[in-house]
Amino acid sequence: MTEAIIGIDLGTTNSLAAMVFEEGPEVIGRAGESPIIPSVLSKTSNGWIVGREALPYRTSAPSQTVYSVKRLMGRDIEELEEEIQELPYQIVAAQRKLVKIRLGDHEYTPQELSAEILKKVKTESESILGYPINKAVITVPAYFDDAQRQATRDAGKIAGLDVVRIINEPTAAAIAYGLDEKKEGYVAVYDLGGGTFDISILRLSGKVFKVVATCGNTHLGGDDFDRALSIVLKEKVKQKYARADLNDPISQQIFKQVAENLKIQLSSSLEADYQIEIPEKSISYQGTFSTGEFDSLIKESLDQTLSSCQQALEDCHLDVSEIDEVVLVGGSTRIPSVRQYVERFFQRKPNVAIDPYKVVAIGAGIQGHLLAGGRRDFVLLDVIPLALGIETLGGTFSKIITQNTTIPTEASELFTTHVDNQTGIEINLFQGERELVKDCRKLGQFKLRGIPPMQAGLPLVEVTLHVDANGILTVSALEKRSGQKASIEVVPFHGLTQYEIEQIMDDSYEHALEDFNERQLIEFRNTVEGVFQGIEKNWSTAENVLSDSQREAIRRQMKVVEEYSKGTDAQSLKEQMDILGDLTRPLADAAIGNAVLSELQKSPASS
């Protein structure tokens, strides 16, 4: 086997690494010590403190200590408005709508901070293994969009790692469970971590397992449970200390820390005692919290996860009864009520044979082993979560790669110009499920230049979208007559919010008919414009080959079509266009005949 490739689960709350040893796949850690590295870092005068050692700084230096940085990856300042109110560190706007975290006099991108966590994972692994590690497979939530995947890959590069593959967390879990050893069936992977939720449905067939549907929420997880618990604890303390200001960074972090500890205790007992001490404000408060109280706090979030499960099943046209196995992933699935919810929904006990904290890293480690030349006896097929395409005339969204397409994948479509002598085309890339680009998310843009001047409709521009095994998008354009090319690896404008990801899917169903009619109207209006130009261009031919009454009928119908194109009924406009088409057919035949004759007369005589 070649150089070792470790697997890294870069989590919202915790991170860890794994690889395949002689005895089999396992997380990388020292005997008797936890292999988990908290995804927390603090900037001190002596440099970065990362992991478990950084945890105390959340209350002693909250404005200099960063946690949950994964939630900031590939997102803009507007999308983070809610979080900013609660985070003790400062978030500021950066170029291209992205954000930076201000710590003292310095500003850092989320990628740079994630890189520090990855460096810690790398150096810890090297110290335990006794040799350098330069390559890694890194996992991401299945519902991470292109912006968030790019940000994760960039973080790896900054950390000095060659990121040989980015794979979805649920897919990594499937690998860890060795689900390829089953012959047939469907598996649901329910992945609830610190900051994200995914549900993936996999179809197993022999040694091939394919993700057939994925749904989720990049902004739902254990952090939200902690936040809900913190608010209740704060209200309880406020009843006793009515005049105390409990919104300062230190107080907020103390509440969050107590909430986290309470959540963990309530995962193994029916009730738990807690104590809140804020010495600076002379606050000392004790209380007891029950699992019933906690379960009612997180019920709404758990209902959201089940809605995503239902959506995933509908996307792949399956019933709950057709799911053969359910696998739990993520630290938040240790909560008893989460397991009860999942069991009730899927009507079967979930599989928890592997520690939910470790399963993703182990799967990534196995994938790294395979990429390094190890045992290779199963095929893994992942999918993209939302359709990819480009903007076309009138603001329509032309989907080139559809939702849930298996990756890696490549697809092309031919487009043309709509203006005579156009020498450049701006290509705008979008991701979403609606018919018009105004309802989708813009990923990027580039320009195809150097097209020779031609009449509208003559250039043939082939736009190709390629999504690699990491889910990273590359786009190229080729004008086939001239051979002019342009391409871009998409550097997205920003990522998708939790609300938008849900809305994208909901809106696509809710507005399907309305969107279709609006899209048809735009396309029919564009066709009308082209037909009118063609008629005017060939009117001299009409005067030679058509009677006065035929020409008069065409002019009358053109006015009718013009009136209908101002309306909102696509079908009626189409009917009037068909009438015009019938009236102009003799003219079209004559025009084509003249064009062919003209081309033949230009051609050199054959020998």
Quick: pLDDT tens for 18-34: 998 877 788 999 888 88
pLDDT over 70 (residue 493) = no
Of the listed 76, 124, 154, 191, which one is catalytic? Answer: 191
Do residues 364 and 475 share a domain? no
Enumerate helices (H) and strands (E) in the chain, giving the number of each: 15, 28
- Angle between the N-to-C axes of helices 110-129 and 146-158, in degrees from 0 to 180, rounded to the nearest 10: 50
The residues facing 15 across adjacent strands are 10, 37
Residues near 528 by beta carbon (within 8 Å), at least 6 away in sequence: 561, 562, 565, 573, 577
The yes-or-no answer on residue 70 being catalytic is yes
Residues across the chain: 607
Q: How many CB atoms lie within 10 A of CB 83?
A: 16
Helix (H, G, I), strand (E, B) or coil at 309: helix
**Tokens representing 140?**
């991401």
The yes-or-no answer on residue 377 being catalytic is no
Do residues 318 and 458 share a domain? no
Looking at residue 342, the DSSP 8-state letter turns out to be H
**Does residue 507 form part of some domain?**
no
Sign of CA dihedral 100, 103, 104, 108: negative
Q: Where in the sequence is the domain holding 521, given as residue range(s)?
A: 512-602
First-to-last C-alpha distance (Å) of the chain: 66
Do residues 52 and 150 share a domain? yes
Cis peptide before 408 (omega within 30 of 0): yes
Cα–Cα distance, 355 to 360 (Å, whole number)? 9
Distance from the Cα of residue 594 to its chain's centroid:
53
Do residues 376 and 393 share a domain? no
Residue 119 pLDDT level (bands cut at 50, 70, 90): very high
Looking at residue 351, the DSSP 8-state letter turns out to be B
Of the listed 43, 70, 135, 256, which one is catalytic? Answer: 70
The yes-or-no answer on residue 515 being catalytic is no
Cα–Cα distance, 125 to 17 (Å, whole number)? 7
Alpha-helical runs (H) found in 385-511: 498-510
Residue 284 pLDDT level (bands cut at 50, 70, 90): very high
**Does residue 83 form part of some domain?**
yes
Residue 15: phi and psi, rounded to 5, are -130, 155
pLDDT in tens, 587-600: 877 776 666 555 55
Do residues 197 and 100 share a domain? yes
Do residues 192 and 338 share a domain? yes
**Does residue 272 form part of some domain?**
no
Looking at residue 372, the DSSP 8-state letter turns out to be T
Residue 269 pLDDT level (bands cut at 50, 70, 90): confident
> pLDDT at position 496, please?
38
- What CATH number did the domain enclosing 184 receive? 3.30.420.40
Cα–Cα distance list, 425 to 34, 55, 327, 389, 415 (Å):
55, 52, 48, 15, 10
Q: In the chain, pLDDT over 70 holds for what percent of residues?
A: 88
Q: How many CB atoms lie within 10 A of CB 14?
A: 22
Cα–Cα distance, 513 to 506 (Å, whole number)? 13
The yes-or-no answer on residue 169 being catalytic is yes
Residue 407 pLDDT level (bands cut at 50, 70, 90): confident
pLDDT in tens, 140-170: 987 787 778 888 888 888 888 999 999 888 8
Do residues 487 and 530 share a domain? no
**Does residue 247 form part of some domain?**
no
> pLDDT at position 217, please?
83
Cα–Cα distance, 296 to 228 (Å, whole number)? 10
pLDDT in tens, 218-240: 778 888 899 999 999 999 999 99
Of the listed 76, 124, 154, 169, which one is catalytic? Answer: 169
- Indicate the residue among 429, 463, 496 that finishes a domain: 496
- Angle, CA 256 vertex, CA 251 and CA 258 arms, to 5°: 95
Q: Average pLDDT of 277-300?
A: 92
Do residues 472 and 419 share a domain? yes
What total of structural domains would you count in the chain?
Answer: 3
pLDDT in tens, 530-572: 888 888 888 888 888 888 888 899 999 999 999 998 888 888 8
Sign of CA dihedral 412, 418, 420, 421: negative
Residues near 513 by beta carbon (within 8 Å), at least 6 away in sequence: none
Do residues 319 and 352 share a domain? yes
Of the listed 9, 76, 198, 382, which one is catalytic? Answer: 9
Q: How many CB atoms lie within 10 A of CB 127?
A: 10
- Greatest alpha-carbon pair distance for the chain in Å reads 106
The residues facing 99 across adjacent strands are 93
Do residues 198 and 88 share a domain? yes
**Does residue 212 form part of some domain?**
yes
Cα–Cα distance list, 4 to 125, 530, 550 (Å):
12, 60, 78
Do residues 468 and 563 share a domain? no
Q: Is residue 504 within 8 Å of 216, Cβ to Cβ?
A: no
**Tokens representing 377?**
């006896």
